[in-house]
Amino acid sequence: RHGISHSDGAQRGEMPYGGEPESHFQRLIRGNQYQPVLRDHICKEMAPLVEARIANIPTRAGSDWRDLPNLAVRLSDGSYSKKLQYTHHDKKNGKSSTGALRGVCSCATGKPCDPMDRQYNTLIPWCLPHTGNRHNHWSGLYGRVEWDGFFSTTVTNPEPMGKQGRVLHPEQTRVVSVRECARSQGFPDTYRFFGGILDKHRQIGNAVP
């Protein structure tokens, strides 16, 4: 909890802290700076569709892509996403409790995949229910870090669709920032990273604590 900020990830390299330290960990991690400055509280920019997906992930503990509503929503660029169409019987899981189909490709019925079944620009990523039966339903993708939980692993690229672990902020519409990832590895706030955002994430993710 105390390694994750309550403030929005900014696009400035330096910014003031939002207040005094709230815990022993925060006092230690901030260090003895003459002029306390928070560095690298910056986040990767996301495509409009990815932003919309993050915004629609509930903030309750354990939420991930499986909690996304199946809706068409307006994106930040003015375009609209599409609603995912369930078009096939799911041989393994059957129908939903309401009798609705669960398959998004002919392979759900036991037949070969049909490229024509692929759907694009949907709030629920088509590829996840398509292959979910073979991959534990992609548990944790587009998942939020829990306030009282922990980082399952520190990643070199906090990608919501990545397999490394949950990378969304517990409450905000963003992935974890460079500084939040650095704190998860034990780097003090005085430690400086170099390059662009992805360079900094790689430096943190490849570090051995």
pLDDT tens for each residue of 67-121: 999 999 999 999 999 999 999 999 999 999 899 999 999 999 999 999 999 999 9
Domain count, the chain: 1
Residue 69 resides in a domain:
no
Residue 186 resides in a domain:
yes
| Lowest-pLDDT choice from 39-48, 130-139, 143-152, 192-201 | 143-152
Q: How far apart (Å, rounded) are the C-alpha atoms in residues 96 and 2? A: 40
Q: How far apart (Å, rounded) are the C-alpha atoms in residues 36 and 34? A: 6
pLDDT in the model for residue 1: 46
Residue 39 resides in a domain:
yes
Please report, rounded to a whole number, the percentage of residues in the chain having pLDDT higher than 70.
Answer: 91
Q: How far apart (Å, rounded) are the C-alpha atoms in residues 64 and 44? A: 19
Query: Domain range for residue 17?
Result: 1-43+177-209
Would you mind telling me the total number of residues written for the chain in this entry?
Answer: 209
